[in-house]
Structure 1
Amino acid sequence: MSADIAEQPAGFARLLEDEHAGAIAAVAAEVARRRPRNVVFVGRGTSDHAALYGAYLSEIRLGLPVASASPSAITLYGARPDFTGSLVIGVSQSGGSADLTGVLSVARENGALTLAVTNNPESQLAKAAELSIDVAAGHERAVAATKTYTAELLALLMLIEGVRAGDGRLPEQERAALAKLPQLAEEALADPAAGELAQRYRFASSLVTTGRGYAYPTAREAALKLMETSYLPALAFSGADLLHGPLAMADPDVPVLAVVGDGPGGKSMRDVVARLGERRADVVTIGPAGELRVPAVDERYSPLLDILPLQKLALSLALARGEDPDAPRGLKKVTTTL
């Protein structure tokens, strides 16, 4: 897991190279040409969190309504929805889960433009889709996904911004900003604060993560990483949902990880952090001004950096609690569901 985490800056750089960037641009141009009326995402676990990031991008940057598919409706109940005019995107590291492949197959048969975003271009998911994107993260050794997650995020960002451009090619200003990501990721990973924070949470019995907008997928992914490596019950809430009831459970014994950036989502989180303070909750913030500090970037890019110290925290906390983060109990690298 440590090695996978450390490879992420190189993964960003690889995906931004002409070969991979050009392939994503060609897919984006085709999507733009087909002019979908809406977007439907489908994914599981970590990839579902990447899909959630894609949903925010699609609604905000493309102005398209977005839905999340329910795989069981198709694979267990035999539903055959009319996907005419829809772009259906399956996001999966392995591309090996039968339910995701089933959704894309049915969607393609029923009018959708289908796209697979995966780390395995030879997978069944990629073969089932009309279009596919290789996130080019390389072999991931740890069971807990880290570098494939951020590669999915960057691929979705490049795709959606390419669709917005119309011809698939990113504007020069966008390319210049993305070119800085590998170095910024190096800076975020070099900060030792996450390892130091692990000792603070060593004996925690539960934890809450929260964020709004583009930061909400980060909160969900951080909670998953903590659960699968440290077996620590972790609940993820949007900042808005946290105020609609779950705030009542906040107290000094329940640590809260709050993703607070510089954009609209981060600004809205300031009231959430203040309300948590009134409850005397143990709050640690992640962001340009947080205890877990990451470089300041456009809010669209923040999820690619904000998750990095949280991955390090999950790794360090597992070790501090005497667990093996490379062999989470009961888990396998590829999980197949129907």
Structure 2
Amino acid sequence: MTGHEGGAAEAGRLMRAEIAEQPEVWARLLARSGPVAEAVERIRAAQPRFVTFIARGTSDHAATYGRYAADVLCGLPGGSWSPSTTTLYGARPDLRGSLAIGVSQSGGSPDLAASLAAAREGGALTLAITNDPASALAQAAELQLDLAAGPELAVAATKSFTAELITLAQLFLGLAGRAEPGLERLPEWGSAVLRDPRVTDGIAAAVERFDGDRVVLTGRGYASAIASEGALKLMETCYVSAAGFSAADLLHGPIAVLDPAVQALAFTSEGPAGAAMRPVLERIRSSGAPLLTVGAAQRMEGEAWLPLPAGVPELLEPVLQILPIQLLALSLARSRGLDPDVPRGLLKVTETR
């Protein structure tokens, strides 16, 4: 396979460094609770009845996680805005009584900024979550939360994505008036995952076994967002055909594509989503597709497994679940002679209109 090739020591250097930096980013983000508290106070005063998320790509997967958090923690129905309805068709919906949240690493895509501005004009309270507080998206919003992840130079987003997840968890926990002590342990847990030799060895074995170009990723509940993000990471860095599904949606048709030539990757959990995954895992196994599980539980003896720490609250598991997949994408790309720092046809800031 041909692609952007770099020296063995240089390929993926930026992505590797930014993956490793994440626990430090999380600690820095968690130490800055003041801006989240201020946003929570403003949102509570507005008493929104529902939440609309505006995002694309990796940030849209973070928004999927945010929709679960809004609904489960706060009882706020969450929806997704399609920016094209505004930029292509001129739609201006009535969003009085709502909260509109724009999520973007760069905040630089014109369609996202235009959509958030339209939401504000339509009566929504608007919040931007971005790694660039001077961006067009941030300027379009009444409120903003800085991810404080530092410059992200690799094209494939890693640390900004997990910072988005943590920021959304902080926001909706605050709105629900709930404390989650596990938040403070995320840097510790993240460091443990990145250092765990079982993860390192498991990734090396998975890369060795990976001889195809089709992958299906699945998870239930919060982890469905990680299935989609994991698929994107594999597509953009390794050029494989990957698709991520909620485990419930997988059973409604896509499971038919599974056979021994398709790699299956499943995210497991110790919470309610984990219980719901059990029959799905059995269906995957019966298909003959090789299965790699990521999580603290639910694997069969001898089955490929990337472990995570036990006892992590289900709300926070996605922050850790994506780490082995980022490492897998990095390692698989390098094994194929590709440089994941510069995927073909992609730029760091994608501008859609």
Calculate the TM-score normalised by the size of structure 2: 0.91
2:99 is paired with a residue of what secondary structure?
strand
Structure 1 counterpart of 2:170, from 158, 170, 174? 158
Query: For each residue in 1:19-73, what CA deviation from the matched residue of structure 2 results, as whole angstroms up to 9, or x when unmatched?
Result: x211111111211121100000010100000001000000111101111001111
Aligned residue in 2 for 1:222: 230
The separation in 1 between residues aligned to 2:45 and 2:290, in whole angstroms, is: 50
Query: What is the distance in 2 between the residues matched to 1:251 and 1:79?
Result: 43
Trace 1:87-236 onto structure 2 (pairs within 5 A).
87-165=99-177, 171=179, 174=180, 176-191=181-196, 192=200, 193-201=202-210, 203-236=211-244
Partner of 1:16: 30
Superposed counterparts of 1:1-338, under 5 Å? 1-17=15-31, 20-165=32-177, 171=179, 174=180, 176-191=181-196, 192=200, 193-201=202-210, 203-289=211-297, 291-296=305-310, 297-338=312-353
Query: Is the 1:91–1:116 Cα contact (8 Å) retained in structure 2?
Result: yes
**SS of residue matched to 2:133:** coil
SS of aligned partner of 2:33: helix
Q: Percent identity?
A: 54
Query: 1:204 deviation in Å?
Result: 1.1
Structure 2 distance, partners of 1:248, 1:49, is 24
Matched letter for residue 331 of structure 1: L
User: CA-to-partner distance for each residue in 1:288-313, whole Å, 9 max, x for gaps?
Assistant: 03511111201000000000001000
Amino acid in structure 1 at the alignment position of 2:334: L
Shift in Å, 1:196: 3.2
Give the distance between the partners of 1:332 and 1:236, measured in 2 at CA.
23
| Structure 2 counterpart SS, 1:145 | coil
1:195 offset after TM fit, Å? Answer: 3.3
For the aligned residues, what is the CA RMSD? 1.0
The answer on whether the counterparts of 1:113 and 1:130 sit within 8 Å (CA) in structure 2 is yes
Aligned partner letter, 2:341: D
TM-score by length of 1: 0.95
1:241 Cα shift? 1.2
Q: Which amino acid is the alignment partner of residue 197 of structure 1? A: A
Could you give the per-residue CA deviations for residues 96-130 of structure 1, whole angstroms, max 9, x where no partner exists? Answer: 00111011101111110000000001101000000
The CA distance in 2 between the partners of 1:33 and 1:292, in whole Å, is 43
Q: Contact 1:212–1:269 at 8 Å: present in 2 too?
A: yes
Unaligned stretches of 5+ in structure 2? 1-14, 300-304
Give CA deviations for 1:152-181 in whole Å, capped at 9, x if unaligned: 00001001111111xxxx63xx2x321111
CA distance in 2, matches of 1:52, 1:130: 22
Q: Secondary structure at the match of 1:74?
A: helix
In structure 1, the partner of 2:302 is: none
Amino acid at match of 2:320: L
Amino acid at match of 2:126: T
Does the CA contact (< 8 Å) of 1:195 and 1:312 recur in 2? no
**Contact 1:251/1:280 (8 A) holds in 2:** yes
